[in-house]
Amino acid sequence: MTLTPPRILLVRHGQSTYNAHGRLQGQTDTPLSDAGRAEAEALRPFLPRCEQVVTSDLQRASETAALLGYPDAHRDPRWREIDLGGWAGRMISEFDDEQQGAWRGGPLHADDGESWAQFVARVGGALDELAAAGGEWLVVCHGGAIRAALTHVTGADPQTVIGPGNTSVTVLRPPFVERYAWTPGL
């Protein structure tokens, strides 16, 4: 039994170079853009200090964690973005509106990519471990991972949930969502 109920703060990484150009990245290991580094530095004073910090092992998330003051955050690949397979690097504009809705949490995915169900199971397992440990956690990850966590905790239809903005903060107290995609007006 945990003494402190879990509180999990999920922070989406700052703008990456692929975000800046409208490219799908998935697990492509792209760096932050200059704007993304500035976003992370601007968010830092608004976050509480956390003793328990985890980040995706992709550089855009781990670099954001470092800029938030956690250069030695534990890297966990389960918090990576969805694996888009051969779609990685494609322009988002190549997909029509219906296709975008179908791959952002729906049945459409690249043959060599990860399905939404596989993604939710991966992220949900990582989230459940943190919740079972209790206490306050800071997780620096990706927009898709945050939406997958939301789906796991609430059962929300991912196709009806808009993706969180760069360096936004989502706060979960499983099984509740305290805040979704909050930004300090950056």
In a domain, 133, yes or no: yes
- Amino acid letter for position 33: S
**What's residue 66's pLDDT?**
98
Active site residue 81: yes
**What's residue 70's pLDDT?**
98
- Is 18 labelled a binding residue? yes
Count of domains observed in the chain = 1
In a domain, 153, yes or no: yes
**What's residue 107's pLDDT?**
79
Q: How many whole angstroms separate alpha carbon 36 and alpha carbon 15?
A: 4
Which residue range is the domain that position 70 belongs to? Answer: 7-182
- Is 14 labelled a binding residue? yes
Active site residue 178: no
**What's residue 108's pLDDT?**
81
Which residue from 136, 34, 23, 130 is spatially nearest to 78, judged by alpha carbons? 130
In a domain, 21, yes or no: yes
In a domain, 2, yes or no: no
- Please pick, among 39, 63, 81, 136, the residue that the annotation labels catalytic: 81
Tens digit of pLDDT per residue, the chain (186 long)? 545 789 999 999 999 999 999 999 999 999 999 999 999 999 999 999 999 999 999 999 999 999 999 999 999 999 999 999 998 999 988 887 777 666 677 778 888 999 999 999 999 999 999 999 999 999 999 999 999 999 999 999 988 888 999 999 999 999 999 999 999 875
What's 56's domain CATH number?
3.40.50.1240
**What's residue 54's pLDDT?**
98
**What's residue 128's pLDDT?**
97
Q: How many whole angstroms separate alpha carbon 141 and alpha carbon 156?
A: 19
